[in-house]
Structures are given as C-alpha cells and as structure tokens.
Amino acid sequence: MSLVPPSAAARARSRVQSPQEYETLLARSLDDPDGFWRDQASALTWFHAPANIVEDDGHGEVTWFSGGRLNASVNAVDRHARTHPDRAAIIGAAPDGTLTTWTFAELKARVGRIANALVHRGVRRGDRVVVYMPTTPQAAAVMLACSRIGAVHVVVNPAYSAETLRERIEDVGAELIVTADAAPWDRQVLPLKRRVDQAVAGLSQVRCVLVDRHQAVPVSMTAGRDHWLQTELQRHRVACPAVWQPAEAPLFIMHTSGSTGAARGMVHTTAGYLVWACTTFRYLFDLRPGDVHLCTADLGWITGHTYALYGPLTAGITTVLVEGHPGRPDRGRLGALIDAVQATTLYTAPAVLRCMRAAGDAVLARSLRTSLRVLGSVGERLEPDLWQWLHQEVGGGRCPIVDTWWQTETGGAMLANLPGALPARPGYVGRPMFGVRPVLLDRDGRRIEGEGSGVLAIAGTWPGQARTLYGDHAAYLATYHPHPGLFVTGDGAHRDAEGYFAITGRVDDVLTVGGHRLGPAELEDTLCAHDAVLEAAVVATALPDGGEQITVFIVPAPWATTPADDLRAALVEQLRLAIGPIATPGRVWFVSGLPRTRTGKLLRRVLRHLCDGGTRPSDDDLADIADPSVVDEILEVIQPDRLRQRAD
C-alpha cells in the first residue's frame, strides 16, 4: 500500500495575509492550475496520488485528479484520529442546550460500526443510501460510514415532507434508508419515521430502514424491513476497512430545485469535492490550530455537507452541528451556543441573522461572543445594514466578515471576501476563490468586460464542480452548459471597477427563501392539485427587513365554493404537507387571471415586479401580455401591501 501522506507545507498555507498575496495566489491558480491544485491535493491522504490534475473537454465532460485513489472518511477522520485522537471532532448541540462531544478517536469507532452495519444489510460500493435525519453527530457518522464503504449518501432535509422524500428515494433508486424516530424542530416534533413509512409505502425497492432511537417516541416498526440502529450497532465491530475510491467516484448526491418540477440530484465526486471543500474551508476562515467552527446549516443542505462536515473535518478542525432551528426555542440560542463551545468561526445565513436581530439587543446582550474571530454568511444577499449589524453587534467590530456566494452545483464557495486579503465591501460577495474565473454574459450570451451587470457564469472548471445530474446527463448539459467552456449559474451579478462582485438575484424564476432554493413549479403543481384551484403562480417577493417571502397567486376554479379564508388556510397546509414548512407562503392572493404571454407562458417576473412595489408597466411592456387587464386587477388586490411597503 503506497499511502501518500499530506505535505506539511500545503497544510500550513491556509492564510492569505495581504491583497498582494491574494493576487499572486489567484494568478498562480489560474495560470498554473496543475501546479496549484497538485499542491492543494497534497493536503489530503491518498492511496494512489493522482496521475492527472484536470481534463476538461469544454463541453461539460470534466475529470479532476484522475488516477488517484482515496477515501473521504479516512481523510475526515482516521488520519486525525491517528495524530490527535483526543481532539474534539464533532460537538452536537441539541435544541435543549445539551452538548455531545465526540473526539476523532470516538468518531472513527462510531463510523466503523455503522459502516459494518450497512455492509451487513447489503450496502455495496456505489449503492445510494438515503439519510433522513436531524443534524446530529449520529447523522454525520452515518454520512461518513457511507463514504467509508464507497456508498453514495443522499441526505434529505428533515423539513421535507413524505412526498418529497419519496420522489428522492425513487430518483436515486435507494434500497436502504437511515432515519430517526423523530426530530425536534421549532417547538414541533417532526415524525420522521412515520413520514418514511408513508414515503416507502408500495415502493418495493426499499428493503431496509435503519432507525436511530433519538427522541424515544413510539413508532411502528415493520418486521423484516425496519431495524433499530442502536441494536444493529451492538452486533458490529468498530474496525471497518475503508474502500479506496477512484477520484471521480461519486461521494454524494444532493438534490436542488430548478424552474421545472423535476428533482435535480447533483452528483459530487470524491477527490474533486474533497480537495475543494478542504481548500476553500481553510482559506475562507483563516484557520488556526484549536479553532472551533460553528456552521448553523442543516446537514440536509450542501452548506452542511461542505462547511459543517467535510471541510472542517478534513482540515482536522472541530465542527459544531446545530440540531433544529438555530433561533429556537429561544432566540438567544445561537449566542449562548457560541459562548458554550467558544466558537472561533461562525458560518450562517442572513435569514438566521435577521431572526437574531429581530429578537432585540437585550437577547443578544445575554452572550459575550468574545471567542469569535471570523464571521461568514451564505445563501442570500447580506444587505449592507445587516452586514453592519453583524460586524458591530455580533462581532463587536473585531471580526472580518466573509460573505460567500456559491450554489449546490459548485460544491463550495466561488466568490468571497477572503478575511485578511481583501478590504471588505458591504453588499458585495468579493472576488473569486482560487481557481475560479467568473464571467458576466449579456442577453445574447456575449461576455461583458470590466464594470457591468449580467448573468454570472464560470469559465472552465474547478475541482468542486458537480459532474452531472443523477440519471440525466443530457439535462445537466442543457441546463448548465448552453455555451462551450462556460458553466451558467442562473444568478445575475454586477462587477465593479475593482473586480468586486455583487449578486443581484436569480435571473430565472427559482425562489431563494431563507437561504434555500425552491422551484416555483414544485409549489404550483401542489397548489393546482387542490380541487378549488384553476391556476397558481408562485414568486419570491421582498420583505421590508431585506428578506424574501413566498407569495402565491391563485385563480380559483369557477365551481369553487370554499370561502377565501378557508381555502387560503387549506392551501398553506397543503404546501406544508407536500413540500415542508420551508414552503410556507407569506401571502396568498386570489385573482381572476395571471399574466401570461400569448403562447401561455407564465410571466412570474411581472408578478415579482408588482409585488416589490414596481409601477404599472407601460403599454409597450404590456404588449407581451395576452390580457393586460389582469395587471390592473393584481395591482388592486395587492394594494394594501404596496402601501405598507412605501410607508417603510
């Protein structure tokens, strides 16, 4: 066995000290990608070092580090268990304030046992395992156990419904599911096992369900199919040999939303993703030995995968996992947690920060937060006044703020204001991460040079790029590679004279709510399934505090007799049941028609424009709309909100 140990030099280089150093490193990463990424890859432990660094045909066929072999769990756990077994690997923060700490040595043993249990239940290399669990150390161990045996984890956020869960189980053809009896969430208890039962009813592909006894609530167990995880683990040894995966072997699939209703399972690879997670993590947070990293994301989102699990653990840093809502049951929860674990780096989303800010200064003053050194944000725009609040009130004016732009598809941060390297600019997500060539395109797909606004695309490739959409490579190419040599992001952006980027929002109709993406079609299909609904349109609209809410327009069926308030309540419930609490709309309006083109295409941008306080479009602009009178009706219906918006 030719184990290639990580090079100390590569691991120490995690800090950029000055703008000049940033420019030098960026230039090197772009001019000599082979050299740059060979260095970065040497921070990992390989069974075989890669033969090639990157191959890219310019049309969406990409490989990174081919010829190399490695295992993600060995990189995240074993090598640290060998060098510093007693260092905390994971601190699990339960909603009731309880902390559970697992050292690297303990984590290794737990991962090994679970991996053996999975093998015993028939999981083989390449099999997809669906994980439907709260964000606990146990869930992290299940993910790492999958990667240990070369199985592909497919984590579904516990906030998603049985219906969404079933779609994803079917999409990836999973035969085994790991879940928990139930999970606490924002004053409720989510019945995870019951939802799994509903999701797999009649699905013969699912042979086995392993259930983590987490809340000790009664659940029904189907003989022959369901087994308690705890009982399984007692039967297995801690030692489990790691499967040495080829570089391009899939590590996990993470679903995301697009404009159409179909689930998109983005496939991330073992080597490229891991090198990207580790490299970006170290540069983003200016790491030092002994750091404690607190990322508030659920493991069921890509942020949880990259910056709560693989990034920190691969870099050997203690990671704090937050179970449930970071601002519930008490809005002072996050501040108290920062103090309790002495977090040095905090990575969170504007939605969480707004919730903290709304709780008021007195709640914030209950914590000290003096351990914090770097503050990071992701998921949606960190508007300048929230930036200032974060900087002054949360960080006491001491901590650099790293706003990061990326997507499920990119695997890790692509644009960021690296702490120490670049002067901060509130409202901007900064400059490219090493190895990233952002470009702006005009409406015709032509590149815009210098200062300007357009659609954000990435030229070439980077290691963390998702390679395909599970089971539909043609759709992957059509969606992301309409132009040769470019990956198209779906976001609009502005670049200023110094090369700083600001994200202006999605150019398609995909909603970003609370920092997460939802496809309008998923919600509209659910609404139209109701008898009383003829047509539905869903858009994200601005809230006065800088956030966004889901706004729904319903054209009731002519035969509908349900009173409006009852129908509204029923539709909200239907969305929550079919998609999950994240799909709860802020507004449901009833109208007699929707703005459509003459060919029947729904013009969601017109709805957004009107809801966000925009003026009535001119007659010229209305020419596209088959029946312009719907615009006047909509303006009248939403008038109360528009008045309120102007008052703010």
Question: Strand 318-322 relative to strand 292-295: parallel, antiparallel, unpaired?
Answer: parallel
- Output the smallest distance, CB 234 to ligand WT7, in A: 37
Binding-residue pattern over the window 467 to 496 for ligand WT7, x denoting contact by CB under 6 A: ----------------------xxx-----
In degrees to the nearest 10, what's the CA dihedral of 367, 368, 373, 374?
30
- For ligand WT7, the closer CB: 43 or 413: 413
- For ligand WT7, the closer CB: 112 or 514: 514
With the C-alpha atoms ordered 293, 296, 300, 303, is the resulting torsion angle positive or negative? negative
The DSSP output letter for 241 is P
Q: From the CA atom positions of the chain, what is the Rg in Å? A: 24
* Cα distance between residue 152 and residue 253, in whole Å: 7
Residue 193 contacts ligand WT7 per CB under 6 A: no
Q: State which of residues 147, 404, 461, 465 lies at the interface with ligand WT7 (CB under 6 A).
A: 404
**Nearest CA-CA partner of 142 in 255, 233, 269:** 233
Residue 403 contacts ligand WT7 per CB under 6 A: yes
**Which of these segments, 44-52, 132-140, 512-520, 537-545, binds ligand WT7 (CB under 6 A)?**
512-520
**Which of these segments, 80-88, 200-208, 230-238, 402-410, binds ligand WT7 (CB under 6 A)?**
402-410
| Tokens (6 digits) for 96 | 């009731």
Residue type, 211: V
Residue 270 contacts ligand WT7 per CB under 6 A: no
Q: State which of residues 342, 371, 407, 562 lies at the interface with ligand WT7 (CB under 6 A).
A: 407
* 8 Å CB contact between 351 and 543: no
Residue 78 contacts ligand WT7 per CB under 6 A: no
Q: State which of residues 495, 516, 530, 568 lies at the interface with ligand WT7 (CB under 6 A).
A: 516
- Output the smallest distance, CB 621 to ligand WT7, in A: 25
- 621-to-295, 527, 592, 603 alpha-carbon distances in Å: 45, 29, 21, 12
Site for ligand WT7 in 240-259 (CB under 6 A): 256
**Which of these segments, 17-25, 204-212, 374-382, 522-530, binds ligand WT7 (CB under 6 A)?**
374-382
Buried residues in 354-387 as b, exposed as e (16+ CB within 10 A): bbbbebeeebbeebebebbbbbbbbbbbbbeebb
Residue 518 contacts ligand WT7 per CB under 6 A: no
Q: How far apart are the first and last CA of the chain?
A: 66
- For ligand WT7, the closer CB: 270 or 489: 489
- Output the smallest distance, CB 31 to ligand WT7, in A: 27
With the C-alpha atoms ordered 366, 369, 375, 378, is the resulting torsion angle positive or negative? negative
Residue 462 contacts ligand WT7 per CB under 6 A: no
* 8 Å CB contact between 359 and 335: no
- Output the smallest distance, CB 364 to ligand WT7, in A: 23
Question: Residues near 198 by Cβ (< 8 Å), separated by ≥ 6?
Answer: 162, 166
Count of Cβ atoms closer than 10 Å to residue 105 Cβ: 18
- Output the smallest distance, CB 619 to ligand WT7, in A: 32
Residue 45 contacts ligand WT7 per CB under 6 A: no
* Cα distance between residue 357 and residue 346, in whole Å: 16
Binding-residue pattern over the window 320 to 359 for ligand WT7, x denoting contact by CB under 6 A: ----------------------------------------
**Element housing 521 (H / E):** helix 520-528
- For ligand WT7, the closer CB: 132 or 405: 405
- Output the smallest distance, CB 105 to ligand WT7, in A: 31
**Element housing 254 (H / E):** strand 250-256
With tokens 């995240």, the residue in question is 76
Residue 303 contacts ligand WT7 per CB under 6 A: yes
Residue ranges of E strands in 45-121? 54-56, 62-64, 69-70, 88-93, 99-103
Q: State which of residues 22, 281, 406, 553 lies at the interface with ligand WT7 (CB under 6 A).
A: 406
Peptide bond into 326 cis (omega under 30): no
Q: State which of residues 172, 359, 429, 523 lies at the interface with ligand WT7 (CB under 6 A).
A: 429
- Reduce the DSSP state of residue 126 to 3 states and report it: coil
Site for ligand WT7 in 140-179 (CB under 6 A): none
Question: Residues near 15 by Cβ (< 8 Å), separated by ≥ 6?
Answer: 283, 286, 287, 420
* Cα distance between residue 648 and residue 645, in whole Å: 5
Q: State which of residues 265, 335, 376, 379 lies at the interface with ligand WT7 (CB under 6 A).
A: 379
- For ligand WT7, the closer CB: 380 or 641: 380
Q: State which of residues 14, 319, 408, 551 lies at the interface with ligand WT7 (CB under 6 A).
A: 408
**Which of these segments, 145-153, 165-173, 355-363, 403-411, binds ligand WT7 (CB under 6 A)?**
403-411
- For ligand WT7, the closer CB: 381 or 530: 381
- For ligand WT7, the closer CB: 380 or 535: 380
- Output the smallest distance, CB 505 to ligand WT7, in A: 7
Q: State which of residues 76, 263, 503, 567 lies at the interface with ligand WT7 (CB under 6 A).
A: 503
Q: State which of residues 168, 381, 431, 608 lies at the interface with ligand WT7 (CB under 6 A).
A: 381
Question: Residues near 378 by Cβ (< 8 Å), separated by ≥ 6?
Answer: 303, 347, 348, 349, 403, 404, 405, 406, 413, 515
* Cα distance between residue 355 and residue 326, in whole Å: 9
- Reduce the DSSP state of residue 424 to 3 states and report it: coil
- For ligand WT7, the closer CB: 89 or 540: 540
Q: State which of residues 160, 405, 428, 470 lies at the interface with ligand WT7 (CB under 6 A).
A: 405
- Output the smallest distance, CB 279 to ligand WT7, in A: 16
Q: What are phi and psi of 38, to 5 degrees?
A: -65, -45
**Which of these segments, 63-71, 105-113, 475-483, 510-518, binds ligand WT7 (CB under 6 A)?**
510-518
Site for ligand WT7 in 575-594 (CB under 6 A): none
Q: Contact residues for ligand WT7 (CB under 6 A)?
A: 256, 302-303, 378-381, 403-408, 429, 489-491, 503, 506, 512, 515-517
